Amino acid sequence: MSFLIILAALGLLLLLTLKKVIPFVALILVTMLLALALGMSVQQMLKALSDGIGSMLGSMALILCFGAIQGRLLEQCGAATVISEWLLQRLGKKYLPWAVCLMGFLVGIPLFYNAGFVILLPFVFTIAASANVPLLYVAIPMCSSLSVTHGFLPPHPGPVGLAAIFQASVGKIILYGLIAAIPTVFIAGILFGRTFRHRQPMAPPITNKIPTTDLPPVSTCVMIALLPVLLIALPAALLPFIPEGNFMAGFLHSVGDPVLALLLTVAVSSYFLYWRRGKSTLVVMDHYTKAIESVAMIMLVIGAGGALKEVLTKTGVANEIAGFVTRNAFPPLIAGWLVAAGIRVMLGSATVAGLTAAGILAPLVASGSVSPEWMVLSIGAGSLFLSHVNDTGFWMFKEYLGITVKDTLLSWTIMESIISVGGLLIILLFSKFL
């Protein structure tokens, strides 16, 4: 009976999504109805909502805020432009897909998907026109990198929220995520992208150049873009070789904490990209404010995902599902991918799919039968599966590139599915050794 109630709840969530109800309201409404349907009293339901939202946001609100600030600082000073042009100049037309992939990867790590897409899109048109190659031949490698970083790597909302639910190490997620992301991007971006080498549409002629005056040095831009990843991933890579209690171990634990790492990165970015270059504190604070405003709705959606997880946990349904997975011998990582992929196909949102799947499978991870870090990545891969007409990313890709729905299905949707399935296979492979 519990399974039917959950399926009905997911169906209602799908209906509300199709009716354009904002995800936060839809998730909270469905969570409340689900709690009552599963036998919770009104008081128990309200406490579960409060506990779920509080525990979720309490552990990751600062990470999302600092991550959003860092992304906006890089965006507004032109650092993304500098990185993109530098990579293209170094690699040239011969290695164009590699250049665009690296461009998307470096920009995609600190920036949320939508911001990275909008920033890099002018380069897609400019590069395709300058090199006289089809538009999708350039767009697919760039979007594959942005999509993989969005699904696999903090500080993006999905991986951060999953890490909080599973109490996983963010440093290990970054380290494992990079290991899984590189071959995944190669398959979806480079190999699949080559199939568009001789396919329409072509990019329109260049009518204006992107201004490059008053841009920061490329070395500074690259260093700052990679700084949070290095700070967070470094302890996971080095601590196994340093005795516990050693001063260096304590230092690495401190700077590798995601909140402190991102705070230090924001301070470095503010100084080198703004104050040192004569920008006023008022300008910097304005960027801080707008960045936090931009992430507010994302935080609410993730908080609502925490409430759903709390209801599923408190009612015991999550334990039932985890037990079903165990009894039927589903490998945990495959189970995580399947649940996330199914919800993704129904609801469209990768973040909502990942958080909903995490709430369902949290007891399985808590039992210790699977690494929480690899489960984060498995669910992240599943949450990218088969993007279609109920996903805003699908329509962004179609409208900005000016292609048909059919061409979007044959390019964007297949690319996302390759990332999802290919990512799962790579995760299953590497999880055996790490």
What's the one-letter identity of residue 15? L
Give the Cα separation of 117 and 169 in Å (integer). 28
Give the Cα separation of 408 and 417 in Å (integer). 13
90-99, 235-244, 418-427: range with highest mean pLDDT: 418-427
- Take residue 333 and report the two structure tokens written for it: 């990582």
Do 84 and 44 meet the contact criterion of CB atoms below 8 Å apart?
no
- Take residue 85 and report the two structure tokens written for it: 């042009």
Give the Cα separation of 202 and 306 in Å (integer). 45
Q: What does DSSP assign to residue 93?
A: G
Average pLDDT in the chain: 84
Q: What is the pLDDT of residues 128-157, one digit of tens each?
A: 877 788 889 989 999 999 999 999 988 788
- Give 292's Cβ-side CA count (13 Å radius): 10
Q: What is the pLDDT of residues 290-307, one digit of tens each?
A: 988 878 887 888 788 778
Q: Is the pLDDT of residue 189 over 90?
A: yes
Q: Sorting pLDDT into bands at 50, 70 and 90, what band is 319?
A: low
Q: Is the pLDDT of residue 1 over 70?
A: no
pLDDT of residue 369: 79
Q: Is the pLDDT of residue 208 over 50?
A: no
pLDDT of residue 188: 95
Give the Cα separation of 348 and 117 in Å (integer). 18
> How many residues does this entry show for the chain?
434
Q: Is 408 exposed, middle or buried (0-12, 13-18, 19+ CB in 10 A)?
A: buried
pLDDT of residue 207: 46
Q: What is the pLDDT of residues 231-285, one digit of tens each?
A: 877 776 777 778 777 778 888 878 878 788 889 989 999 999 999 888 899 999 9
Neighbours of 7 (CB within 10 A): 11
Closest CA to 381 of 146, 109, 151, 165: 151
Neighbours of 32 (CB within 10 A): 19
Q: What is the pLDDT of residues 328-361, one digit of tens each?
A: 667 889 989 998 888 888 777 788 888 888 888 8
Q: Is the pLDDT of residue 174 over 60?
A: yes
* Phi, psi angle pair for 254, to nearest 5°: -70, -55
In the block, tokens 């490329």 appear at: 218
Give the Cα separation of 327 and 214 in Å (integer). 62
Q: Is the pLDDT of residue 313 over 60?
A: yes
Answer with the residue of higher pLDDT: 325 or 192.
192
Give, in order, the Cα–Cα distances in Å from 128 to each of 78, 88, 383.
21, 12, 30
Give, in order, the Cα–Cα distances in Å from 295 to each of 18, 49, 299, 410.
23, 21, 6, 31
* Phi, psi angle pair for 68, to nearest 5°: -65, -40
- Take residue 393 and report the two structure tokens written for it: 């990313």
Q: Sorting pLDDT into bands at 50, 70 and 90, what band is 103?
A: confident
Q: Is the pLDDT of residue 206 over 50?
A: no
Three-class DSSP category at 167: coil
pLDDT of residue 173: 92
